[in-house]
Structure 1
Amino acid sequence: MQRERYASRRGILKLAAGLAGLGLLPAGCTGAGASPWRGVNLIATPDAPLGSAACGHSLRHLRNQGGNAVALIPFLWQPAPADPRIVLGDAVSADQLRAGIRQARNLGLKVLVKPHVWVPQTWAGAIEFTQAADQAEWLARYQALLLDLAILAQEEGAEALALGTELRGVSGDPAWTRIITQVRNRFRGILTYVAHWDGELDRLPFRTLLDVPSISLYPPLGEDDAGLAGRIEALAAALARQGPLWVGELGLRSAVGGQLKPWESPEERAALPDGDLQARVLDHWLTALSRHGLHDVLLWRWFSDPDAGGPQDTDFTVQGKPAEAVLKRHFGS
């Protein structure tokens, strides 16, 4: 069983604190003049591994909807939040990642290699250590894994690499400065880090070393549609005032009540399907972000299986749902 594909979007945090704490800085190098990154986070499924014909069909469909970029996700795995024994997970092997990068680039898609850490029954933001020696061991192991990914990404021509995703419990360690130096010795593309929307990026000791900062964007949006567009507009305006950034993740389930806790996975709460809700929320987000100059957006998520999704599905994917038309309207323009 490929457990890593079920990474949770947990982390209930107050919206006000998130807005107050973002504190993003302008990027030192964002590829001025290049077309915006508009695409998805791709999750490989067992029946459609990266590089397969089925995955190629799924990526071509994404391209036909206007997408020009894809985040490919190698999952790392560790037994518990305070256990430093982190390893490469079994969902996407190094060979499969290579094949996926080649496949996506051959289709004209830009590629971000974006590692995620999967921790059973929780999420990457829960990783935290009480013993300094354990944190040092974890960072050493993580560095080794990240350097392997950096070499692979450079060899295969990936345009960007994320240092990590939502590692808020360990991202304040000064060792990251050394790690970034080592990564830059091996990867010459765009370097980013996907911070949690609670203000993690403002706390990063290495934020000025990034080419462009990124965030995952899952703030709670209220109980119903009343005032929904206005709340999203205010959030987008607040983000825009912080300087250039990428939205490394944006999404919600196509499920009743999905806007309440947009990070919530199907495994956390059973709900009836509501594709129209997902479409409305994403339409509001993409409209507001674009209006405020935030054009680089990777939706969460899209599966390598071209038959994934559909009207009865309650996952985050927009495949086969009304939100797919929203994607095409915004990304294809």
Structure 2
Amino acid sequence: MRGFTLPAWNRDDYQSPQADTYLRQIAATGARWVTFTPTWYQDKLTDSAMHTTEETASDDSLRHIISLAHSAGLKVMLKPHVDLVKGQDRAEIRPDDPDAWFTAYDQVITHYAQLAAANGVEQFSVGTELAGLSGDLDHWRQVIADVRSHFRGTLTYAANYDEYRRIPFWQELDLIGIDAYWPLGEKATTDVGRLREAWQPIAAQLADFSARQQRKILFTEAGYVSQRGAITEPYSWTVSKRNGDAEQAAAYEALLAAFDGKPWWAGVCWWMWDDWPDAGETPKKLAYTPHGKPAEQVVRHWWASH
């Protein structure tokens, strides 16, 4: 998988005039996939249900952008998220009533599985970084079975990098999905060699895990902000206020060099391509997007020329 995520932060982002432009820019990097992230929200970590807000992509907008993506020659992964209205970490969701939560979640996720099937989506994620709930094998087996009853494409789950070993249901899915935000050092660096070395023990562990599970591993997310020190906390939007374009590019280079060609690795979907006008809380020059930065040229070198 050679992909980018194009998240939505508003109801109509995916129907905006920029949508087609972004998708064609993504395709021009050599990418062959794009991921979309309709997001539902909880008010509290202990709530037993989730709801839409004005930040939830509408179904019509999803159908629109899936069609645009296919027209641009891109395959699609649909990866629904659950977030918190006040911005807490979704990994901390621990509902007071797990049965009720999973009943509500099953309805949400099967709705998107039906939408995905009806619109020719190629790949689907049954969940993202729900570490407080992902150990519940029986509930997840039911969720996955219900998704499979509607969607015949490839299924994964996007586990955080510190969560994937504790997932009990990989055998129910087609791919192991990991959001690959491993810290690669304690200090900022643009040394690709050092960053590649930092990946080596992680890659060895992943190779072993893949062999034991008999599933390939997809990096459902990976990315770095354009900030000095990004490699120390890849999961953070706010590492520093100093520009780190060179560090971002080095991190992209190191990841692709460390994993490209490994038979157990199914590829990467970078977080993220670009932000919609007026949507980004982080200025573009400091944000995760590689667009118009040296990291975009790294991607083009690896993907457009291979």
Same-fold call, TM cutoff 0.5: yes
- More contact order relative to length (CA 8 Å, sep ≥ 6): 1
When the two chains are superposed, the root-mean-square deviation of aligned CA atoms in Å is 2.3
State the TM-score, normalized to the length of structure 2.
0.88
- SS in structure 1 opposite 2:289? coil
Query: Does residue 121 in structure 1 map to residue 67 in structure 2?
Result: no
Provide the residue aligned with 1:278 in structure 2.
248
Deviations 1:163-193 (A, max 9, x none): 0100010111221111111111111111110
- SS in structure 1 opposite 2:270? strand
Provide the residue aligned with 1:140 in structure 2.
103
Provide the residue aligned with 2:231 in structure 1.
259
Matching of residues 240-259 of structure 1 within 5 Å: 240-243=207-210, 244-259=216-231
- SS in structure 1 opposite 2:101? helix
Provide the residue aligned with 2:45 in structure 1.
81
Provide the residue aligned with 2:213 in structure 1.
none
- Larger mean CA deviation between 299-308 and 100-109 belongs to 299-308
Q: Which amino acid aligns with 2:27?
A: R
Gap change, CA 1:99 and 1:304, over 3 Å in 2: farther
Matching of residues 1-333 of structure 1 within 5 Å: 37-44=1-8, 49-91=13-55, 92-119=57-84, 120-129=86-95, 131=96, 134-173=97-136, 174-198=138-162, 200-222=163-185, 223-225=187-189, 227-243=194-210, 244-266=216-238, 269-293=239-263, 294-303=265-274, 305=276, 313-332=285-304, 333=306
Could you tell me whether the CA contact under 8 Å between 2:10 and 2:54 is conserved in 1?
no
Could you tell me whether the CA contact under 8 Å between 1:215 and 1:249 is conserved in 2?
yes
Deviations 1:228-267 (A, max 9, x none): 321123322332332211110011111011111110113x
- Larger mean CA deviation between 234-243 and 138-147 belongs to 234-243
Q: Which amino acid aligns with 1:155?
A: A
Give the Å deviation of 1:282.
Answer: 1.0
Size of the alignment, in residue pairs? Answer: 291
Could you tell me whether the CA contact under 8 Å between 2:41 and 2:53 is conserved in 1?
yes
Q: Distance in 2 between matches of 1:231 and 1:285?
A: 10
Q: Which amino acid aligns with 2:203?
A: A
Deviations 1:23-58 (A, max 9, x none): xxxxxxxxxxxxxx1011112355982144311011
Give the Å deviation of 1:195.
Answer: 0.7
State the TM-score, normalized to the length of structure 1.
0.82
Gap change, CA 1:46 and 1:137, over 3 Å in 2: closer
Deviations 1:123-178 (A, max 9, x none): 2111113x4xx111111111100111011000000001100100010111221111
Q: Which amino acid aligns with 1:95?
A: D
Q: Distance in 2 between matches of 1:156 and 1:144?
A: 19
Could you tell me whether the CA contact under 8 Å between 2:9 and 2:279 is conserved in 1?
no
Gaps of 5+ in 2: 211-215
Gaps of 5+ in 1: 1-36
Deviations 1:66-121 (A, max 9, x none): 01101100011001211123123433111111111111111110100001111123
Q: Distance in 2 between matches of 1:208 and 1:76?
A: 27
Q: Which amino acid aligns with 1:151?
A: Q
Q: Distance in 2 between matches of 1:169 and 1:277?
A: 32
Give the Å deviation of 1:295.
Answer: 4.4
Gap change, CA 1:253 and 1:70, over 3 Å in 2: same
Provide the residue aligned with 1:23 in structure 2.
none
